[in-house]
Structure 1
Amino acid sequence: MHQQTIFIGSLNASIVHPREVFKEAFRRSAASIVCAHNHPSGDPAPSKEDIDVTRRLVECGKMIGIEVLDHLIIGDKKYVSLKEKGYM
């Protein structure tokens, strides 16, 4: 298992590209990944952009054979699993 920071966003935005997310997974011959990011506001509720990025990552992962197991959003002492919420 490995942990890697891929992007560091600003206070309210981050640009996520699947190419960069999966690059490290390829290097490590990973069969699956879990994505996670924080919401500095403390509210872990997923935004429309969070949901869109997650769906794009899942689609890309299926094409290349690397499963996205979950995408976690971390807030102030709580988190949201996009898998548990049915967005994946």
Structure 2
Amino acid sequence: MTVCDNRADGMRATAIFIYTGANSSERVRISDTNGSGNSCATQDFSIPEGNRVLLEVCVQNGANGTAPAARKAGPDPVTGPVG
């Protein structure tokens, strides 16, 4: 998974990827933290087949700031399909 910061606005680009299954679950969060609009953050991982997946991508104001522009894609692991 790769998330890129395309604007020099001081915000960070963040992606949160969650998968859940019968025997496993994992939450992976990656952020491009420099806020300069010139880089990406990448992390590789494996997802067991048959797991439900939730992806949130947002801009975030600092390490502990809110993520007002979060967008979800894919079925929610708890409630089912989005939308």
Higher helix residue share: 1
Looking at CA atoms only, which structure, 1 or 2, has the larger radius of gyration?
A: 2
Higher strand residue share: 2
